Amino acid sequence: MYSMEQAKLTVRISRETLDEAKRFAREHGTTLTRLVVTHLEQLPGDDDSGTLPVGAPITRRLAGTLAPEASIEEYREYLEQKHA
């Protein structure tokens, strides 16, 4: 399946989002795990520009929640304040 050591990930999402994701995966002949891995692999690494991929489903859905010119550091600060 994957060549690297695997680890489990637990996420909390709404039932509606989970149902939509399951439907999407089924219709596209894939798994939820593969969807998540594919998305996470698209995130920028240490040597990237620090911007999120604009075509990824989650980034399309979150568009407008943070100023487009905001840096990753500003986003981290935003999350820290939000979840403090």
- How many of the other CB atoms lie within 10 Å of CB of 31? 13
Indicate whether this model's pTM tops 0.85: no
CA distances from 45 to 37, 52, 54 (A): 14, 10, 15
Task: Say yes or no to pLDDT of 81 above 70.
Answer: yes
Least reliable range by pLDDT among 6-10, 19-23, 67-71: 67-71
Output the pLDDT for position 55. 56
How far apart are alpha carbons 80 and 6 in whole angstroms? 28
pLDDT at 37 over 80: yes
Q: Which of 14-18, 37-41, 50-54, 59-63 has the highest mean pLDDT?
A: 14-18
